[in-house]
Each structure stands twice: as structure tokens, then as C-alpha cells.
Amino acid sequence: MARTAKGSESVNKSQIIREAKAANPKMKTGALAALLAEQHGLTVTPQFVSTVLSQAKRKKGISRGARAKADKSVKAVRVSSKSPSVTMDQLKIAKKLVTQLGGIEKAKAAVQMLAEILE
């Protein structure tokens, strides 16, 4: 449960919000605000809930800007002069396909058969 502030009987709203979110990870901020009002008698707005939760993410190092920068940093990688440029995400998908098919040779054969079908 949330701790009280030193020298007072008030409860730390931010801590209660974080604990409620941990207990209900899929709950939206509006529903979370209503839950807090019902269970703890706290009057908080959905915006305040959102602010507290985003600050908690920032302290963990998961900022929206960092995620956006990571997405934009994926650039086309030239594999060879004969092949078109391929992104890192596409390489990851290809790796999963190779793993699912049981090796590069089987993946090559599957791609060759697909090419013949599509021609």
C-alpha cells in the first residue's frame, strides 16, 4: 500500500496511482481515475493519472521521444549489389522465417518456389 507523507496523514496520490496501474495494467486512465475515486476516495483527473504514469516511464528511461528516435533510426541496409536495399526490420522477419522453416537452405527453396508460383 502507499506510504503516507512524513509528518502528515495524507496519502501519496502518485504512489497509489502507480500501484493501481500495476494491479490493473490494461486499464485506461479514465477508468483508473474512477477506480481510485471509488476505492480510495481520491479526486484525480485522467490527465493527472496520465502525467504520473508517464513520469514513471521517464524515470525508467522509456520516453516517447526515445522510442520515436529508435524507430526513425532504422535505415536501409545494402546487403549486396545484386539485391535491393533491406531494412533491419525486414532482416528480423527473414531471420524468423529461416528459423521457422528450419534453416537457410529450406528458406531459399521456399522463396524460389514462391517466385516460380508468382511468375
The runs of H, that is alpha helices, within 24-87 are 29-40, 46-60, 64-72
Residue 31 is predicted with a pLDDT of: 92
Domain borders along the chain are 13-70, 75-118
Span 76-101, mean pLDDT? 76
Taking only the tens place, the pLDDT of each residue in 23-69 is: 988 999 999 999 999 998 888 999 999 999 888 887 776 555 655 55
CA–CA gap between residue 41 and residue 31 (Å, rounded):
14
Write the pLDDT tens digit of every residue in 63-77. Answer: 556 555 555 555 555
Would you place residue 85 in the very low, low, confident or very high pLDDT band (cuts 50, 70, 90)? confident
User: What is residue 38's three-state secondary structure?
Assistant: helix
Residue 2 is predicted with a pLDDT of 54
What distance in Å separates the CA atoms of residue 106 and residue 30, rounded to the nearest whole number? 50
